[in-house]
Amino acid sequence: MSRNTESNTYTVLFAVAMVIIVGSLLAFVAQSLKGKIAENKRIEKQQNILYAMGVNENEKGSVNFIPKDKVDADFSKYIVKQYVIKGTTATENDKAYLIDLKREAAKAKKPSYTRKLPLFVGEKDNKTYYIIPVRGKGLWDAIWGYIALNKDLIVQGVYFDDAGETPGLGGNIKERFFMDEFIGEHIFKGNTFEGITVFKGNDDPKSLNKTDCRVDAMAGATITGNGVTAMIKKGLQMYVPYLETLKQ
Amino acid sequence: MGILTKKDLKLITDPLADNNPITVQVLGICSALAVTAQLKASIVMAISVMFVLAAGNVVISSMRNIIPPKIRIIVQLVIAATLVIIVDQVLKAYSYNLSKQLSVFVGLIITNCIIMGRFEAFALANTPWKSFLDGIGNAAGYGIILVIVAFFRELLGSGSVLGFKVLGNPIEKTGVYAYGYENNGFMLLAPMALITLGVIIWVQRSRNSSLIEEN
């Protein structure tokens, strides 16, 4: 080959050409798939919300969402109201599930901004569920979840997910054995808000004691567990003023 | 095997044992430690690496005469990263669940030293077909070790294989747990992956003394 691949001009030209080709290729792929990806994310979010209130197809031990094609119908069937909460006032808003918690948290850094808190009210078998989305930090990346409470503010179900926790360790927060421990757990101790602590120590491995506001931690995932504790505490805390009004 | 000559076949079989990328070349250790707490995650990782390595090897190899030597490492990195991101985006659009399982590994695949190592050592000097076979072989060799390590870590650490509780239920004390057996939580941590890997290397070298370096 006669081309001199060692020359500086060639090297620079090659680098420029490569960046342009790769850049436009990635931009093209991202643009053309954007709609479909957003759609998938919306469906996932609705599946997660429904999962927390017990609308799922769980079999023994494994997590099973309702099928994709049933999501739209079921979401409007079971989620009867969606609210945006500011302080103690709740405004109805049927697009509340589109609120981006990450963006809200960033905006809320300005003291003048009152954070919009989405709340979903679900109804199933004559029981009312209040589903609260939460978001926090794990070991490697973001973690988030949905917590379904009943009128007495006792946890009825949760769904957790993560962006990049270690599979088999912190990644286990989205497994049944961990999430099911939260069912029935109290978030108030007496009249004070306590949250739920992911607690190390083997005093209650089956999480039978529901009033201690504690669930059993996972081995090898201390930091993710602490992240879950902090996420629940911080996330639910913001709703406490409104939740207290429900109790009356 | 009609299309594979003996030499071609060697490209695939060599990395499985005597020239294994992990146990002999000692590449890709980092991801071998990170993802082997669960067998399922290891299998996903092995398949993804196989795809990226085979495809990347072919791309690099067909460009090998026009890549400027001064920036070849950057070019390799860009190609590996592009492939991984495209795969991830396509999966996100068409197979969302699979992409969720894979998302953890995207970063790990791009920085996997096996990928850069094979681009640099093999694809830059060989034809696309040979590079393709080399990619498949090395990824398979990498995958085998991952699966072996993950099998033992999951079995001894969580008492399960592929998520099935084969040893019984540790909380309700059924199966072997009824006799006082306990899961070894230490197996779930990265240091035990390194020790398991060390044991594999020990076994392999004691069976094949030609792998032992002379001082």
What's the pLDDT tens digit per position in B182-201? 788 788 778 888 899 999 98
Is the CA virtual torsion B121, B124, B126, B132 positive or negative?
positive
Residue B114 in tokens: 């096996």
What mean pLDDT, rounded, does chain B reach?
84
Assessment of whether the complete model's pTM goes beyond 0.80: no
Residue A205, chain B, CB below 8 Å: the answer is yes
Residue A20, chain B, CB below 8 Å: the answer is no
How far apart are alpha carbons B98 and A9 in whole angstroms? Answer: 43
Cα–Cα distances (Å) from B194 to A17, B200, B207, in that order, read 42, 10, 20
> Per the CB < 8 Å rule, is A14 touching B71?
yes
**For position B15, what pLDDT does the model report?**
82
Residues 6+ positions from B143 with CB-CB distance below 8 Å: B42, B43, B45, B46, B47, B49, B50
**For position B178, what pLDDT does the model report?**
80
Residue B212, chain A, CB below 8 Å: the answer is no
More confident residue, B114 or A24: A24
| Best residue of A3, A4, A5, A178 to probe chain B, by most B CBs closer than 10 Å | A5
The size of the A-B interface in CB pairs under 8 A is 85
Residue B97, chain A, CB below 8 Å: the answer is no
Mean pLDDT of B129-158: 90
Residue A208, chain B, CB below 8 Å: the answer is no
More confident residue, B136 or A204: B136
B/e letters for A90-99, b = 16+ CB within 10 Å, e = fewer, are beebeebbeb
**For position B1, what pLDDT does the model report?**
46
Query: Which residue of chain B comes nearest to A36, CA vs CA?
Result: B93
The ipTM assigned to this model is 0.71
**For position A233, what pLDDT does the model report?**
93
> Per the CB < 8 Å rule, is B89 touching A164?
no
> Per the CB < 8 Å rule, is B34 touching A5?
no
Q: Which chain A residues have a beta carbon less than 8 Å from that of B71? A: 11, 14-15
**For position B3, what pLDDT does the model report?**
67
> Per the CB < 8 Å rule, is B71 touching A15?
yes
Please name the residues between 75 and 134 in chain A that touch chain B, using a CB distance below 8 Å: none
Residues B156-176 have pLDDT tens digits of 888 888 877 888 777 677 778
Point out the residues of chain A with pLDDT beneath 70. Answer: 1-3, 248
Contact A245, A193 (CB under 8 A): no
How far apart are alpha carbons A56 and A59 in whole angstroms? Answer: 9
**For position A155, what pLDDT does the model report?**
92
Helices marked H in chain A: 8-52, 71-78, 101-107, 176-179, 222-237, 240-247
B43 min Cα distance to partner chain A (Å): 12
Q: How many residues does chain B have?
A: 215
Residue A60, chain B, CB below 8 Å: the answer is no
Three-class SS state of B38: coil
**Residue B6 neighbours by CB distance under 10 Å:** 7
**For position A135, what pLDDT does the model report?**
93
Which of A10, A37, A206 is the closest to B93 by Cβ? A37
**For position A129, what pLDDT does the model report?**
92
Mean pLDDT of B176-185: 80
**For position A248, what pLDDT does the model report?**
64
Mean pLDDT of B141-153: 90
Q: Which chain B residues have a beta carbon less than 8 Å from that of A138? A: none
Residue A29, chain B, CB below 8 Å: the answer is yes
> Per the CB < 8 Å rule, is B69 touching A6?
yes
Residue A33, chain B, CB below 8 Å: the answer is yes
Q: What are phi and psi of B77, to 5 degrees?
A: -65, -40
Domain boundaries, chain B: 28-151
| Best residue of B30, B96, B165 to probe chain A, by most A CBs closer than 10 Å | B96
